[in-house]
Amino acid sequence: MPWFLLALAILSEVVGTLALKMSNGFSILIPSSVVVVGYGASLWFLALCLKSIDVGTAYAIWAGTGTALICIAGIFLFKEPMTAIKAMSLALVILGVIGLHWAEGKAV
């Protein structure tokens, strides 16, 4: 259940961030409202998952996955350019998130 809550936190943050872009500097009401609800839900779900997942791991996965998804969404939804360095950096973020998830609960 905590990993499901973390996934909900990530998705809520992504929705909030996409709405932030669409809000045009908080000048459009509906996207601006979605920003507030999305970020609020994201922090709520993140707080709930932190009852069971280490804070460093949860936050890094939340931030890294959200960053990767926003980058991908920006390319497809907002026609942002995909460069070689952006693709390589995105791959490193994704590998880092996978590594953190894999290492959760394992002694080093």
Query: Mean pLDDT throughout 70-75?
Result: 94
Q: Is residue 46 part of a domain?
A: yes
CA 108 to CA 16: how far, in whole Å? 35
Contact, 10 vs 38, CB < 8 A? no
Percentage above 90 pLDDT, the chain: 83
Q: Is residue 19 part of a domain?
A: yes
CA 100 to CA 96: how far, in whole Å? 6
pLDDT digits (tens, 9 = 90+) for 77-103: 999 999 999 999 999 998 988 888 888
CA distances from 15 to 20, 39, 47 (A): 9, 8, 18
- Residue 107: pLDDT above 50? no
56: left (phi over 0), alpha (psi -120 to 50) or beta: alpha
Query: Mean pLDDT throughout 27-45?
Result: 98
Contact, 3 vs 49, CB < 8 A? yes
Number of domains in the chain: 1
Q: Which pTM value belongs to this model? A: 0.88
Q: Is residue 108 part of a domain?
A: no
User: Which tokens sit at 59?
Assistant: 């936050």
Residue 78: the pLDDT is: 95
| Cα atoms in the Cβ-side hemisphere of radius 13 Å centred on 67 | 17
Q: How confident is the prediction for the chain on average, in pLDDT? A: 93
Q: Is residue 67 part of a domain?
A: yes
Determine the structural domain holding residue 74 and report its residue range.
2-103
